[in-house]
Amino acid sequence: MNHNFLTPFSPVVILFIATFFLLAKKASCTDLRFLACEPKSCGDQKISFPFHIQNAQEEYCGYPGFAVSCKEKNKTVLSLSNNEFRLSTTRTGLFLFYNCNSALLENDSKLLKHKFDCSGENGNVSTVAMLDDDPLLGSASEKCGAGVVAPVDVYRGENVSIGKMLERGFVMNWVASNCSVCEESGGRCGFNITTYHFKCFCPDRPHARSCTPGEYFFSSFPVLKFNLLLESAG
């Protein structure tokens, strides 16, 4: 009679047990700083380097001075120079066209609705303001001398005056070439407060730049850009 069963010392059982212990050991050896700097959520925003959430992430997970608070209604608030600003990733381009021919505007009823009064203008020229998806952008550029684009915090279809849009905040740019290299190698960006240097926290241990040392030594560093809108939280 042929009995097909696994004995306690079957090679399959031994292999299974060995694999289990190896995986368990690997999990237990994962660097604590790598685990601590996992991105956290505040509302619909993922918070990671150069920011870190107070009381939810360690200080070394972000850049000094970039601690944010996750407040009521899941608002992400950053304190700068004793002023509070709300972080937002919702941005719309607001086009401001200067030196527009006032006579031409008077003959264009649709474009005239976008006229924006600026102090110091004479009666011959005007300013026109409109969002980046407005079908009249081309017409405005033809009737005006110059223009600029201001990122603003506004939802499509929201009924907000141009002045209020501009009062809401400003864009903060952060360029971190080291961070993109670190993340591409599977690491998480952080900062050594003692040495005041960037650190790449990897599953095995912290590294200076990448979890795979030497891989990017002779290559150009890709750049990670953070582009966030800061508006007054008051």
Based on the fold, state whether residues 77 and 188 are members of the same structural domain.
yes
Based on the fold, state whether residues 177 and 211 are members of the same structural domain.
yes
DSSP H helices, the chain, are 11-28, 32-36, 102-106, 109-112, 137-143, 162-167, 177-184
Based on the fold, state whether residues 105 and 209 are members of the same structural domain.
no
Q: Is residue 22 part of a domain?
A: no
Q: Is residue 189 part of a domain?
A: yes
- What type of residue sits at position 127? T
pLDDT of residue 221: 41
Q: Which domain holds residue 81?
A: 32-89+172-232
pLDDT of residue 20: 52
Number of domains in the chain: 2
Q: What φ, ψ does residue 185 adopt, rounded to 5°? A: -90, 5
- Is the distance from CB of 175 to CB of 221 less than 8 angstroms? no
Based on the fold, state whether residues 75 and 176 are members of the same structural domain.
yes
CB atoms inside a 10 Å sphere around CB 202: 21
Based on the fold, state whether residues 121 and 78 are members of the same structural domain.
no
Q: What φ, ψ does residue 24 adopt, rounded to 5°? A: -65, -40
Q: Is residue 12 part of a domain?
A: no
pLDDT of residue 37: 96
Residues of the chain with pLDDT under 70: 1-28, 81, 88-91, 119-123, 153-159, 166-177, 213-234
pLDDT of residue 223: 42
| Global model pTM greater than 0.85 | no
Based on the fold, state whether residues 80 and 96 are members of the same structural domain.
no
CATH code: domain of residue 106: 3.30.70
Q: How close are the terminal C-alpha atoms of the chain, in Å?
A: 83
Based on the fold, state whether residues 203 and 183 are members of the same structural domain.
yes
pLDDT per residue as tens digits for the range 108-130: 888 888 887 776 566 678 888 88
Kindly tell me the number of DSSP H helices and DSSP E strands found in the chain: 7, 15
pLDDT of residue 168: 65
Based on the fold, state whether residues 100 and 77 are members of the same structural domain.
no
